[in-house]
Structure formats: structure tokens, C-alpha cells
């Protein structure tokens, strides 16, 4: 199993490019199921979650090629299976995103239930409830969601909570439904907007994306399109936390600062000096960060996917901060590992109190989920001595060549492939 070895203390300097957003690319790839015509996508990051999705689409009969330049050519003209098997879905919950498109275009689908997940229960009841409201006949059989419908019929759906992939699944189902669908309490995340923009290029009629009320007029069929995936705001935010912790002066190219308001505001409060253009961010940091309180919220609030990285920055702050996680019930698994590096953090339910320390010290730690891994990298970059992070397959699910990018900024970080570190 690969590990990362970091020798902390190097300041970060230089320029790197931000990758395309994983969480935009995943639903966008699944949208390829909605038409027999080709989709040409660019800025698709080369990540494990993307290859899992391409494998899943391949199982369904979709022809897909991921070029080294980040382009993906998709063609779903010979779909010959309507089943997403357990072994693929269990490794990636977002596989549930094939349910809406398969049902809408082919009138049936069998998708394995995702099962438990490290960061919380994460049920898919809202996806199922919404599709049933669109007229699907849905049952759970042998661990699979089994859905059938002649043609889905537009209706008003109000989800009980704001759900990102739920909104995406229902939007992809509704674009081919008969009549008008209104998604109330819809997610406003930039990744939902990116998916809507692709669907519109494919001929869908959608309004209100980016607000909590999305209105979709169903069409008979969709056609091929070209689309560039929006930049990854979480990857960008993670690098900004890294320079916040390690100090230095970095510039991120191909970024989308306009979608990062909540993160940028907190980083500025922590003491980073930021300059932004339309697609770049420069960040400078000297000295210890200031503590910043965080409460995770749906977009445009502070993203739960940035909580762990921001906590890593707070561990070094000159004072105490309070973090409240409101989206997922079990998203503090990085805390124990950060404490192995010398952080002082207490958890009480959804609240974490972080008492900043003047220095962290390198240690062996274990990655437990995707963003937790990033927080350990950030802490390791600032810690004295050597940090070894085990189980970085979590990191590889969602960060494209993180260690290569960090090395380009002057960090001392290397991947240990399989072998035990000396």
C-alpha cells in the first residue's frame, strides 16, 4: 500500500495548476448515459474515483476513453446492461448517479445500495423518494435499488434536506421526463451548476440552477455536446491551507475563486494575504495563523469538504478555534491522527475545539478518508521532522498528483510505493 513521506518545514513557493473538479466530473460522466451521441469532456481529473466511474460506465456498455490531456470521449450508443454492481458501488457512493440517467433513458435500472461509509450513514432515501415522485416504481431487492418507469412524469419535489448528488440525480432524471419538474430545496453547489450547464448544452431545458429552486421542462431526447469541467474548489482550497500552514507564496492557475467565497474569507481571517483574478489565486503567508471558527454548511456556506484541511491550519493557530460539523455525523476521524502530530483538539458531538500549538512534530499517521488525508498532508508539511501517511489510496481517490504538485512548490514529499519506510 502506498504511503507518503513528508519532511516538514519547507516554505511553499511557485505556481501550480488546479485540476478539474472531481465532484463535477462524476455526475457529468454519468450524464453521458442520457444520449446515444458522443460527449467530449475536457479538464477531467485523472483520479481513482474517475476511473471507477469509467469502469462502471464501461460495464453498462458505454464506450469511454480518458486521454492523458484530461479529455474524455464518451459514447453511450450501445448500452447493454442496466445494472450497477455492488463491487463498484461499494467503493464509491457517487455510483448512485447512474440511477437517474438509466431510468430516464431506458425505463429501468438496478443499482446496488452503497452501504455504509466512513464519514457517516449517508443514505440515498431522497434520491429514491424523488424518483418515485417522478412516477418510477421502486423497490429494494437483494441489496439493489430496482427502478422501472414507462416515461417519468414531471412534478414538484422537495427534498427533506439539501443533497448534492440527490439534486444531480433528480435533475438528470427530470430532463427526459414528460412535462415540468420543480426541484425545491435544491443544492446550489457550483458542481450542480456545472452539470446543469452541460445538460443545457445537450438540449435540456433547465432554469434556476445555482438557486434552491431548479425548474426543468422535460424534452424527448438529448444530443451530444462538448464541455470543460469546472475547476476543483476543494483541491484549490487544500493548497491554500497548505501554504497557510507551511508559509510561503504560491499562485494557483486555472482556479475558480468566484466559487470559493466562504473558504477564501476564512483563509483571510487566518492571516493569508490573497489576491485573485478571474482564474487565479495568489496566496502569501508569514508567521502563525490566527484561529478561525467554522460551521460547515451547504453552498454558499463553508464546505464540509474543507473542514478537515481548515482544522489542520487551526492546529497551528495562535489561539483557540471552534469547528462545528453540521453535514456529516462522523467527520472527525482526522482528529485522532492530527493529535498524533501534537495537535490539541477536543471533540464534543458535532463540535471540535482546537487549541493552537506553536509547533507540530512529525509522526506516522493513517489516512481515514479523502479530506482527512489532505489534512494530514497539510499538517505534515508544517510539522518538524518526518511524517509518514499510510493508506493514501484515500487521497488518490480525489487529488490528482498531490505530491507532484507540492514538490513543484518546494515541499519535501515523496510517495513510497508498497515498501516499508526505513
Active site residues: 117
Q: Which residue has the cell 448515459?
A: 33
Q: Which residue has the cell 492571516?
A: 271
Measured from the CB atom, the residue of 74 and 363 that comes closer to ligand UD1 is 74
Question: Which of 323, 290, 322 has the alpha carbon at shortest distance from 307?
Answer: 323
CB 204 within 8 A of CB 222: yes
Contact 173, 204 (CB under 8 A): no
Nearer to ligand UD1, 121 or 417 (CB): 121
Q: Is 238 in the site for ligand UD1 (CB under 6 A)?
A: no
Span from 116-124, 207-215, 267-275, 356-364 in contact with ligand UD1 (CB under 6 A): 116-124
301 in contact with ligand UD1 (CB under 6 A): no
Of 48, 53, 95, 163, the residue at the interface with ligand UD1 (CB under 6 A) is 163
**Contact predicate 212/184, CB 8 Å:** yes
Nearer to ligand UD1, 239 or 328 (CB): 328
Question: H/E/C letters for each residue in 383-416?
Answer: CECEEEEECCHHHHHHCCCHHHHHHHCCCEEEEE
Q: Does 325 bind ligand UD1 (CB under 6 A)?
A: no
381, 246 in Cβ contact below 8 A?
Answer: yes
Q: Which is nearer to ligand UD1, 189 or 388 (CB)?
A: 189
DSSP state for residue 135 in the 8-state scheme: T
- Residue 333's nearest CA partner among 303, 366, 306, 357 is 366
Q: Is 320 helix (H, G, I), strand (E, B) or coil?
A: strand
Among 43, 52, 53, 126, binds ligand UD1 (CB under 6 A): 126
Q: Does 19 bind ligand UD1 (CB under 6 A)?
A: no
Subset of residues 171 to 210 that bind ligand UD1, contact rule: CB under 6 A: 191
- Choices 137-145, 162-170, 267-275, 283-291 (CB under 6 A): range interacting with ligand UD1: 162-170
Contact residue for ligand UD1 among 11, 13, 63, 122 (CB under 6 A): 122
Comparing CB distances to ligand UD1, the nearer of 168 and 337 is: 168
Task: Tell the smallest beta-carbon distance from residue 16 to ligand UD1 (Å).
Answer: 22
Bridge pairing between strands 137-141 and 144-148: antiparallel
**CA 334 – CA 376 distance, rounded (Å):** 7
Of the candidates 257, 275, 395, which has an alpha carbon nearest to the alpha carbon of residue 337?
395
Residue 161 in contact with ligand UD1, rule: CB under 6 A: yes
Number of residues that bind ligand UD1 (CB under 6 A): 22
Instruction: Give the integer Cα–Cα distance in Å for 294 and 297.
Output: 9
Which of these ranges, 8-16, 118-126, 258-266, 269-277, lies near ligand UD1 under the rule CB under 6 A? Answer: 118-126
User: What contacts 348, CB < 8 A, 6 or more positions away?
Assistant: none
Q: Does 166 bind ligand UD1 (CB under 6 A)?
A: yes
Applying CB under 6 A, the span of 157-165, 176-184, 221-229, 405-413 interacting with ligand UD1 comes to 157-165
| Angle between helix 22-31 and helix 164-174 axes, rounded to 10 deg | 20
Q: Within 55-114, which residues bind ligand UD1 (CB under 6 A)?
A: 93-94
Q: Helices marked H in 121-187 — which ranges?
A: 125-133, 164-174
Task: Decide: is 165 part of the binding site for ligand UD1 (CB under 6 A).
Answer: yes
**Residue 140 found at the interface with ligand UD1 (CB under 6 A):** no
Residues of this chain that bind ligand UD1 (CB under 6 A)? 23, 26, 93-94, 120-127, 161, 163-166, 191, 304-305, 327-328
Amino acid at each position: 500500500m502506498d504511503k507518503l513521506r513528508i519532511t516538514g518545514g519547507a516554505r511553499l513557493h511557485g505556481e501550480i495548476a488546479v485540476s478539474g473538479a472531481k465532484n463535477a466530473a462524476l455526475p457529468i460522466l454519468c450524464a453521458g448515459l442520457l444520449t446515444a451521441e458522443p460527449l467530449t469532456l475536457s479538464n477531467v481529473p485523472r483520479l481513482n474515483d474517475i476511473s471507477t466511474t469509467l469502469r462502471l460506465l464501461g460495464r453498462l456498455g458505454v464506450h469511454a476513453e480518458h486521454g492523458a490531456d484530461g479529455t474524455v470521449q464518451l459514447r453511450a450508443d450501445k448500452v447493454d446492461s442496466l445494472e450497477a454492481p455492488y463491487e463498484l458501488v461499494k467503493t464509491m457512493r457517487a455510483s448512485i448517479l447512474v440511477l437517474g440517467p438509466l431510468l430516464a433513458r431506458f425505463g429501468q435500472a438496478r443499482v446496488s445500495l452503497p452501504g455504509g461509509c466512513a464519514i457517516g450513514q449517508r443514505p440515498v432515501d431522497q434520491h429514491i423518494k424523488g424518483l418515485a415522485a417522478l412516477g418510477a416504481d421502486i423497490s429494494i431487492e437483494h441489496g439493489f435499488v430496482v427502478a422501472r418507469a414507462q416515461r417519468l412524469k414531471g412534478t414538484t419535489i422537495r427534498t427533506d434536506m439539501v443533497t448534492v448528488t440527490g439534486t444531480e440525480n433528480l435533475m438528470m432524471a427530470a430532463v427526459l421526463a414528460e412535462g415540468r419538474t420543480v426541484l425545491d430545496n435544491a443544492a446550489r453547489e457550483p458542481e450542480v451548476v456545472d452539470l446543469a450547464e452541460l445538460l443545457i448544452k445537450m438540449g435540456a431545458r433547465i432554469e434556476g440552477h445555482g438557486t434552491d429552486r431548479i425548474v426543468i421542462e422535460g424534452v424527448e431526447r438529448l444530443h451530444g455536446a462538448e464541455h470543460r469541467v469546472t475547476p476543483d474548489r476543494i483541491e484549490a482550497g487544500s493548497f491554500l491551507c497548505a501554504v497557510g500552514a507551511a508559509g510561503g507564496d504560491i499562485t494557483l492557475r486555472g482556479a475558480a475563486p468566484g466559487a470559493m467565497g466562504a473558504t477564501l474569507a476564512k483563509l483571510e481571517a487566518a492571516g493569508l494575504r490573497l489576491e485573485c483574478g478571474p482564474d487565479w489565486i495568489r496566496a502569501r503567508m508569514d508567521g502563525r495563523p490566527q484561529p478561525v471558527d467554522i460551521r460547515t454548511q451547504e453552498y454558499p456556506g463553508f464546505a464540509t469538504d474543507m473542514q478537515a484541511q481548515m482544522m489542520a491550519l487551526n492546529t497551528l493557530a495562535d489561539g483557540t478555534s471552534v469547528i462545528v460539523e453540521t453535514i456529516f455525523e462522523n467527520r472527525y476521524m482526522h482528529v485522532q491522527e492530527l493529535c498524533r502530530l501534537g495537535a490539541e483538539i477536543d471533540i464534543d458531538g458535532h463540535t471540535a475545539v482546537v487549541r493552537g500549538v506553536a509547533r507540530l512534530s512529525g509522526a506516522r499517521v493513517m489516512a481515514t478518508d479523502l479530506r482527512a488525508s489532505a489534512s494530514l498532508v497539510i499538517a505534515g508539511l508544517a510539522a518538524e521532522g518526518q511524517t509518514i501517511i499510510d493508506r493514501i489510496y484515500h487521497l488518490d481517490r480525489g487529488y490528482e498528483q498531490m505530491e507532484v504538485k507540492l514538490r513543484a512548490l518546494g515541499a519535501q514529499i515523496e510517495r513510497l510505493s508498497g515498501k516499508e519506510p526505513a
